[in-house]
């Protein structure tokens, strides 16, 4: 396979324990000669943590906004944040997102919407953004989604859950400090980490991959195996590997595509508002007929980590709910095309999709 791809990467990547302490000097050149202010978008988990706050390299005039992660980012939320900042302070010099996939997407979307007029709803899709956003830096505090490297900011809008996807979405800078992810609770650490495992499996098993995708996938899978099957979570190497695995899993998708699990997960997310990474685990657990040995390996990791995935969720789902989820999933032909090839309609119909949901 030699599929043509031409993508922008994150411009600068800082990696290593303690790199968060360098954030001040990293963003200093982007403060627009002292005229602009910086916005710090921080996961609400850190609200009230004075020790953490003291580490933020804030200067007078900067804005600190805590972001709730109860719901996934929405177009409404981004538009309101943008309007509020512009009315109160004018255009910032840049922004820094500190948190999980949720805050990474808020930071990427807000950067774009500070310079593009109208509602973010009109830009949901590929290459619809008209102008570059402002300087934006991402600091992940939980690893797995790859949102720190991807070229999309996933937003839930009134009609669709779809990313603002273009070259300008990609971060100008990321700071990967393994110290920051140590406090993630074990269950969330597992679900979000499995997102990168599943990205890598889906990227490597479909038809739209190229050699870059294979290289990133294989390395990410190997790192996930070390983290979830071999190392103690307290081993310093564990978080160091997981942060890089997330990055590589994200890039494996840039050079390939997601597949069956993500299609089903989008249905669970849109209809039941299930968290992306948790929904992936629920779906992947039932996909033996598609991902075979990888699903067995996944089950081994679930067991090794003492995670309990719910069984028989579907007994509480009405036919209407299952139909609605199947419609969301069916309407993602690029994922089916990748998973099963251009003749995917010969092996997949709505009934097969509903069958997977009924097994969950
Ligand atoms: P998240 O951002 O939803 O965070 C999960 C939980 O962990 C939250 O309760 C958060 O407060 C908490 N948390 C974060 N850091 C912590 C820390 N250091 N210690 C303790 N708790 C911490 O989780 P996620 O799984 O990283 O991201 C999911 C989001 O990512 C969804 O909105 C999904 O749509 C998006 N996503 C985006 C992409 C992309 O390419 N843009 C890819 C996959 C998923
Ligand atoms: Zn994912």
Residue nearest to atom 8 of ligand 1 (CA): 69
pLDDT band at 5 (very low <50, low <70, confident <90, very high): confident
Amino acid 351: pLDDT: 97
Q: How far apart are CA 4 and CA 11, in angstroms?
A: 21
Q: What is the pLDDT of residues 262-310, one digit of tens each?
A: 999 999 999 999 999 999 999 999 999 999 999 999 999 999 999 999 9
Q: Distance from the CA of 201 to the center of ligand 1, in angstroms?
A: 20
Q: Region 316-326: what's the mean pLDDT?
A: 97
Is 70 exceeded by the pLDDT of residue 71?
Answer: yes
DSSP structural state of residue 74: B
Q: What is the pLDDT of residues 82-122, one digit of tens each?
A: 999 999 999 999 999 999 999 999 999 999 999 999 999 99
Of the chain, the percentage scoring pLDDT greater than 90 comes to 94
Is 60 exceeded by the pLDDT of residue 352?
Answer: yes
Q: Distance from the CA of 306 to the center of ligand 1, in angstroms?
A: 21
Residue 91 structure tokens: 């255009």
What is residue 205's three-state secondary structure? helix
Q: Distance from the CA of 262 to the center of ligand 2, in angstroms?
A: 7
Does 277 contact ligand 1 (Cβ within 6 A)?
yes
Question: What are the φ and ψ backbone dihedral angles of 138, each rounded to 5 degrees?
Answer: -115, 135
Q: Distance from the CA of 277 to the center of ligand 2, in angstroms?
A: 6
Q: What is the pLDDT of residues 33-55, one digit of tens each?
A: 667 899 999 999 999 999 999 99
Q: Region 230-253: what's the mean pLDDT?
A: 97
Q: How many CB atoms lie within 10 A of CB 205?
A: 18
Ligand nearest to the Cα of 99, by number: 1
Average pLDDT, the chain: 96
Ligand nearest to the Cα of 178, by number: 1
Mutate to test the pocket of ligand 1, among 41, 42, 43, 55 (most ligand atoms within 8 A of CB): 43
Is 70 exceeded by the pLDDT of residue 73?
Answer: yes
Give rounded-to-5 percent helix, strand, coil for the chain.
55, 10, 35
Does 129 contact ligand 1 (Cβ within 6 A)?
no
Q: Distance from the CA of 5 to the center of ligand 1, in angstroms?
A: 27
Residue nearest to atom 12 of ligand 1 (CA): 45
Are residues 115 and 130 in contact, defined by beta-carbon separation less than 8 angstroms? no
Amino acid 298: pLDDT: 98
Does 276 contact ligand 1 (Cβ within 6 A)?
yes
The least confident of 8-17, 28-37, 331-340 is 28-37
Of the chain, the percentage scoring pLDDT greater than 70 comes to 99
Ligand nearest to the Cα of 152, by number: 1
Mutate to test the pocket of ligand 1, among 9, 72, 102 (most ligand atoms within 8 A of CB): 102
Amino acid 97: pLDDT: 98
Residue found by looking up tokens 């074990």 in the block:
186
DSSP structural state of residue 286: T
Q: Region 215-229: what's the mean pLDDT?
A: 98
Does 45 contact ligand 1 (Cβ within 6 A)?
yes
Does 268 contact ligand 1 (Cβ within 6 A)?
no
Amino acid 33: pLDDT: 65
Does 177 contact ligand 1 (Cβ within 6 A)?
no
Amino acid 323: pLDDT: 97
What is residue 6's three-state secondary structure? coil
Is 70 exceeded by the pLDDT of residue 326?
Answer: yes
Q: What is the pLDDT of residues 286-298, one digit of tens each?
A: 999 999 999 999 9
- CA torsion, points 44, 245, 283, 302, in degrees to nearest 10? -90
Amino acid 2: pLDDT: 56
Q: Distance from the CA of 343 to the center of ligand 1, in angstroms?
A: 35
Residue nearest to atom 5 of ligand 1 (CA): 100
Query: What is the sign, positive or negative, of the torsion defined by CA atoms of 43, 48, 52, 54?
Result: positive
Amino acid 219: pLDDT: 98
Half-sphere exposure of 304 (CA within 13 A, CB side): 17
Does 196 contact ligand 1 (Cβ within 6 A)?
no
pLDDT band at 320 (very low <50, low <70, confident <90, very high): very high
Amino acid 1: pLDDT: 53
Q: Distance from the CA of 61 to the center of ligand 2, in angstroms?
A: 36
Bridge partners of 161, per DSSP, are 156
Residue nearest to atom 41 of ligand 1 (CA): 147
Amino acid 327: pLDDT: 95
Closest CA to 143 of 196, 106, 107: 196
């Amino acid at each position: 396979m030699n599929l043509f791809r031409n993508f922008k990467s994150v411009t600068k990547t800082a990696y290593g324990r303690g790199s968060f302490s360098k954030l001040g000097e990293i963003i200093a050149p982007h403060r627009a000669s002292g005229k602009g202010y910086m916005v710090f978008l921080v996961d609400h988990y850190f609200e009230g943590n004075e020790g953490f706050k003291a580490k933020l390299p804030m200067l007078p005039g900067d804005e600190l906004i805590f972001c709730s992660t109860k719901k996934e980012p929405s177009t409404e939320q981004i538009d309101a944040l943008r309007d509020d900042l512009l009315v109160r302070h004018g255009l910032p010099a840049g922004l820094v997102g500190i948190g999980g996939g949720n805050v990474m997407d808020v930071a990427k979307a807000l950067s774009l919407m500070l310079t593009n007029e109208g509602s973010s709803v009109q830009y949901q899709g590929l290459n619809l953004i008209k102008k570059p956003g402002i300087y934006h830096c991402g600091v992940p505090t939980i690893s797995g989604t790859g949102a720190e490297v991807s070229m999309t900011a996933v937003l839930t809008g009134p009609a669709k859950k779809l990313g603002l996807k273009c070259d300008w979405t990609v971060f100008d800078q990321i700071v990967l400090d393994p110290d920051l992810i140590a406090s993630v609770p074990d269950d969330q650490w597992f679900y979000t980490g499995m997102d990168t495992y599943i990205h890598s499996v889906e990227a490597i098993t479909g038809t739209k991959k190229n050699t870059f995708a294979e290289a990133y996938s294989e390395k990410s899978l190997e790192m996930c195996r070390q983290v979830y099957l071999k190392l103690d979570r307290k081993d310093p190497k564990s978080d160091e590997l997981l942060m890089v695995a997330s990055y590589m899993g994200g890039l494996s998708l840039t050079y390939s595509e997601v597949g069956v699990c993500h299609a089903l997960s989008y249905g669970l997310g849109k209809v039941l508002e299930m968290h992306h990474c948790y929904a992936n685990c629920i779906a992947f657990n039932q996909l033996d007929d598609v991902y075979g040995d990888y699903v067995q390996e996944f089950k081994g990791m679930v067991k090794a980590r003492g995670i309990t995935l719910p069984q028989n969720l579907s007994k509480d789902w009405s036919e209407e709910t299952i139909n609605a989820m199947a419609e969301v999933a069916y309407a993602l032909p690029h994922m089916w095309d990748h998973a099963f090839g251009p003749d995917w309609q010969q092996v997949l119909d709505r009934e097969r999709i509903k069958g997977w949901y009924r097994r969950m």
